[in-house]
Structure 1
């Protein structure tokens, strides 16, 4: 079966569709992520992703280009470390279909084959079972637990560390 998704970089032209997808996904994202929800926040996100060590990906359905979700590769360090962090979220109506698994797997391949990275890490709240199932399906392994690791929604939240290394 051919890949059902394609990756591309988000642009300013995507603002309206992106913001509509974020609005429609509020219940899905609540407590887990806070994607840009205003035009100003979206533009700030795009500008931040232009900085060295940042690479955003829109995961889109191949057949019609509809947004499936986002995978951000951030804090990329080269040299002897060759590592980066992944953040991601699906949009409502696209979850549970295996599309984000295809998208995340494609980003992992890109990071290892094209960017020549060695390691990727995803930090996930322990109760986010769907996110944990996603990284596990993509070959990530749990490495540990970080109490009060990341501030989300105004609260410091515990996270599990999941990682994958290149073959």
Structure 2
């Protein structure tokens, strides 16, 4: 059964489907400036429906194999955010990476806090993961506040960790242990 949970009366967190390509393209175009400082540099084609139609199947496949859980936040049929659990490693690690963004019109409502909390419970109870990790740019105080509210702890600093906005940038590393 696909993962889905109502976060509020008007916003649902649900598993990504192959039918989300058009809504994703619209959402990324609508939030292009808002996301630019926090995202990798994107080719112009990224903002088209065709780009998402051609590539969305890979994320849906990763969901079906248990290597990831790609989700969207949806309001009235519109994608208003993403919350992804990627790079799931099994065995002695039982770990996944959390990444997320929220439509500029929906920030400040506690939505991402609720979404990450729901994802963490699902990762623990349904997926059997032990640990979640996340990374933020040092100056992304809003994202760090969300992580703190849902029980992530700062565990380190990684120089030149990810190429964001066209430059290798430092990141603050966080983790949340799901089993005490």
Assess same fold via TM > 0.5: yes
Distance 1:105 1:150, change over 3 A: same
Q: Which residue of 2 aligns with 1:92?
A: 104
SS in 2 for 1:31: coil
Question: Runs of 4 or more off by more than 6 Å in structure 1?
Answer: none
Structure 1: gaps of 5 or more residues: none
Report the CA distance between 1:87 and its aligned residue. Answer: 0.9
More moved, 17-26 vs 117-126: 17-26
Q: Which of 54, 74, 78 is the equivalent residue of 2:68?
A: 54
Cα deviation, residue 65, structure 1: 4.6
Unaligned runs of 5+ in 2: 1-5
Matching residue within 95, 100, 119 for 2:131: 119
Residue 121 of structure 1: how far off its partner (Å): 0.3
Tell me the TM-score normalised to structure 2 length: 0.82
Partner of 2:116: 104
Higher helix share: 2
2:105 aligned counterpart, secondary structure = coil
List aligned pairs for 1:1-167, cutoff 5 A.
3-4=7-8, 5-34=11-40, 36-43=46-53, 45-49=55-59, 50-51=61-62, 52=65, 53-61=67-75, 64-167=76-179
CA distance in 1, matches of 2:94, 2:71: 19
Aligned mates of 2:175, 2:112 — CA distance in 1: 17
User: Contact 1:85 / 1:122 at 8 angstroms: preserved in 2?
Assistant: yes
Output the aligned Cα RMSD: 1.9
Distance 2:53 2:108 in 1: 29
Three-state SS of the structure 2 residue aligned to 1:106 is: helix
Question: Contact 1:149–1:157 (CA<8 Å) still a contact in 2?
Answer: yes
Mapped partners of 2:95, 2:21: distance in 1: 29
SS in 2 for 1:93: helix
- Stretch deviating more after TM superposition (82-91 or 45-54): 45-54
Q: Which residue of 1 aligns with 2:3?
A: none
In 2, the alpha carbon distance for the partners of 1:44 and 1:75 equals: 21
Of 68-77 and 13-22, deviating more is 13-22
More moved, 46-55 vs 148-157: 46-55
